[in-house]
Amino acid sequence: MFNPLILASKELYLWLVHLTSKRTKKNNDKIVFLLSFPTASKPALQMLYENFPEKLVICYTKNSKELASYYERRGCSTYCIDEFPTLLKNIVPIVTGCKLVFCDNYFAFLAGITFSFSTKVVQLWHANGAIKSFGLAAEYAKKASEKDRKRYSEVYEKFTHYVVSSKKMADIFAKSYRQNINKLPFGYLSTDLFADQYWLSETRKQFKNYFPSDKKVVLYVPTYREYKTSLPLDFAKLQQHLGDEWQIMVKAHPHDEEFYSKIKNESQIITDFKGLDLVQILPSVDCLITDYSSVPFEYSLANPKGKIVFFCYDYDEYNKEVGVEENFESWAPGAIVTNEEALISEVQCSSKQNFTSFNQMWNEYVQGNARKQLLEWVRKVYDN
């Protein structure tokens, strides 16, 4: 429903950002990282800190405070984007005058920033591929007001480069943002880990130390849903049917607090991962259950002998409310099921899956050296 007060507040917000940005005359040599997905952004942040510790400035959303504080204790300047006075006083002037900006998401305030011609704004994104629609291609964006869509476009126009793992993902960005894409074909930074055999071995040992069991691991990783939904699985029933052979784990989307609150006290499943990130869990997962999440694009590299089942119980509703990428049913590297009985049957099925064609489509640029390539590119930006 159209709300003129919300519209007016958005316009005032961006007007103040724009005014502050226009008044900023002084350039700086900072590298600004706009942070909202801590786990996805760890590799890039670590690389930037190791090589440019005095230049790195982290501007973070509240959910990313812990990671930002880690770097603040090591001497980096950090500012919270969600605090509007801080945004105007500190963040906007630094971002406006800096040489390089990294983003791991959509940040609304960028619509009001007036960058210099030489500033590079790099979209790292928080996903390696896309099953669900986003940007202007998403169903909810199509239903938004004309002014809201204009604001979305004003943010997208600020991005100058995109780090991607495939031409397909670059094409999706171009379609979703209606922009010409300057792609940096380095691969998703986290995928470097899956090419490191020593890291894989040590990570599997660490997982085994935390979860000492001979059971096979099934991990459920649902995507974030913009609309409310009931708990889709009866975990007691799932455990009963899978039996003692399987250990059930559930990882909530980092922004889905409501789903996490529903599952955290379920006795049949594991939701506490002892501080392990998703990338540290995937190599030990025998069967991944997901839906429209981007996790399959990493899992296919982390565990090429593994198995994926797509539990799309709300496919029609999700496609109507958000949107699903074209031909998903034909390129999905695993069975797509819509009910619990079919899900149980697919998990128990012993048939093997082959991720080769899937990886050729979505991970064609992945060589295990994404961070190195990005670092070389950043250095060239500073040399020019």
Q: For the residues 243-269, what does the mean pLDDT come to?
A: 85
**Dihedral (Cα; 42, 45, 48, 49), 10-degree rounding:** -100
Length of the chain: 384
Residue 378 has pLDDT above 50, yes or no: yes
Nearest of 101, 279, 129 to residue 206 by alpha carbon = 279
Residue 226 has pLDDT above 80, yes or no: no
Position 2 scores a pLDDT of 44
When mean pLDDT is compared across 1-5, 55-59, 94-98, the lowest value belongs to 1-5
Residue 99 has pLDDT above 90, yes or no: yes
Beta bridge partners, 288, equal 219, 308
CA separation for the pair 380, 384 (Å, rounded): 6
Task: Tell me the CA distances in angstroms from 221 to 228, 254, 256, 278, 309, one per residue in order.
Answer: 17, 11, 11, 10, 11
Collapsed DSSP state (helix, strand, coil) of residue 89: helix
Nearest of 328, 322, 321 to residue 358 by alpha carbon = 328
Position 152 scores a pLDDT of 96
Residue 190 has pLDDT above 70, yes or no: yes
pLDDT tens for 261-289 read 778 778 889 999 999 999 999 999 999 99
Cβ–Cβ under 8 Å, residues 59 and 78: yes
CA separation for the pair 234, 340 (Å, rounded): 8
Q: Region of 227 please: left (phi>0), alpha (psi -120 to 50) or beta.
A: beta
pLDDT tens for 8-30 read 688 899 999 999 999 998 899 99
Cβ–Cβ under 8 Å, residues 51 and 40: no
Domains of the chain: 4-188+367-383 (3.40.50.11820), 193-362 (3.40.50.12580)
Strand order in the sheet with 287-290: 246-250, 216-221, 287-290, 307-311, 335-337
Structure tokens at 347: 């998990």
pLDDT band at 1 (very low <50, low <70, confident <90, very high): very low
Backbone torsions φ then ψ of 305, nearest 5 degrees: -100, 10
Collapsed DSSP state (helix, strand, coil) of residue 310: strand
pLDDT tens for 66-95 read 999 999 999 999 999 999 999 999 999 999
When mean pLDDT is compared across 3-7, 8-12, 31-35, the lowest value belongs to 3-7
CA separation for the pair 121, 118 (Å, rounded): 10
pLDDT tens for 105-146 read 999 999 999 998 899 999 999 999 999 999 999 999 999 999
Position 257 scores a pLDDT of 81
Position 382 scores a pLDDT of 85
Q: What is the mean pLDDT of the chain?
A: 93
pLDDT tens for 298-343 read 999 999 999 999 999 999 999 999 999 999 999 999 999 999 999 9
Cβ–Cβ under 8 Å, residues 203 and 283: yes
pLDDT tens for 50-61 read 999 999 999 999
Tell me, rounded to whole angstroms, the distance of Cα 190 from its chain centroid: 11
Percentage above 90 pLDDT, the chain: 84
Position 5 scores a pLDDT of 53
Sorted by sequence, the CB contacts under 8 Å of residue 174 that are 6+ apart come out as 180, 181
Residue 7 has pLDDT above 70, yes or no: no
CA separation for the pair 181, 365 (Å, rounded): 16
For 112-126, give one letter per residue: b (16+ CB within 10 A) or e.
bbebeeebbbbbbbb
**Within 13 Å and on the Cβ side, how many CA atoms surround 30?**
23
Q: Max CA-CA distance within the chain?
A: 66
CA separation for the pair 275, 271 (Å, rounded): 11
DSSP-derived letter for residue 250 is E
